[in-house]
Amino acid sequence: MEAVSLPAALELAASGGAGLSPEKRAALGASLLLLQRDYRFERVWFWGCIQGVSGAYYITEGLGPDRAAPRSRLYSLNCVEWSLLPPVTAEMVAQAEQLKGRFQGDPSFEYAYPEINAQDAERVFEDGKEHMIKEEARLVATIEQIDRAVGIIPRGAFVKTPLGSVQENRNFEGLSLTEAKKLTSYFHFTEPVNLKNKTLLEKADLDPSTDFLDSLEHDIPQGSWAVQLEKGGTVVVLRSLLWLGLTFYHVPMTKQYGYIYFGTGEKNIDLPFML
């Protein structure tokens, strides 16, 4: 969610039990502005918080002109001092998927490489030493996993230009209340997968400038999103049951929307058996 509208956004998304103390809010209000100036980001989004055993990671994302370009991610342990996370790689994500349990809250903490099959053993232990995975690498990989799986935007909030870049739609005035209650009105803000498999007939009614992402209607497993009306029916809230702690909000007929994560960074792998 936008750093400039953080206080109001937290109030809209706080019904899920997540939130920040007044001290943390005040610290973020000052430090995020300095962060945007020092790193020369066009926009700064407060992504959320991953709670560890002995501490919490507060996460922000810096964006440039192309909103679909890779984002710069930073973390802080106190909402004042920020450290830049390394760019995520496919190997980091693959390693993070094998790690189980809570984060420790220490970026320098090292995990022993989880059990692997015999085919990978030679590659991993080729130097004769057991490889370790730093928690910092697990952190950025987990953020990437959550963004890919449940980082969402309303339909029409962004447009794709003829040159291929993605920018905010200045004409977006929000979804109607009827549309805001439908999963088809929300898109995953990541590289589309299902869209590429649609036939020409299915794409005939799509607007290539706005419908260039995958909608939530075909998410697996079915039922992984909970849609609710709150604040007297004035706010639509979507909560992910796959990544517990992810809350998206949208005020219909306005430009107010965003998502925030407050959780342990653990995927709910039991969801298919709970539905």
Contact 63, 71 (CB under 8 A): yes
Asked if 115 and 209 touch (Cβ cutoff 8 Å), the reply is: no
**Structural domain harbouring 251:** 3-88+142-265
pLDDT of 141-174, one tens digit each? 999 999 999 999 999 888 888 887 888 888 899 9
- The answer as to whether 237 is a domain residue is yes
What is the domain count for the chain?
Answer: 1
Residue 106 lies in a domain: no
Q: What is the pLDDT of residue 129?
A: 52
| Cα 265 from Cα 142, distance rounded (Å) | 7
In this structure, what DSSP letter does residue 49 have? E
pLDDT, tens only, 207-249: 667 777 888 988 888 889 999 998 888 899 999 999 999 999 9
Residue with tokens 């447009």: 159
pLDDT at 95: 87
Q: Please report whether residue 52 resides in a domain.
A: yes
Domain assignment present for 121? no
> Tens of pLDDT along 125-143?
455 555 778 999 999 999 9
Q: What is the mean pLDDT of residues 29-52?
A: 91
Report helix, strand or coil for 78.
coil
Q: Determine, yes or no, domain membership for 74.
A: yes
76 has pLDDT over 90:
yes
pLDDT at 57: 95
> What does the pLDDT average to over 118-127?
50
Residue 167 lies in a domain: yes
pLDDT tens digit string along 53-62?
A: 998 999 999 9
List Cβ neighbours of 233 (8 Å cut-off, separation of 6 or more).
177
Q: How many CB atoms lie within 10 A of CB 167?
A: 13
Q: Is the pLDDT of residue 120 over 80?
A: no
Residue 131: inside a domain: no
pTM for the predicted model, two decimal places: 0.86
127 within a domain of the structure (yes/no): no
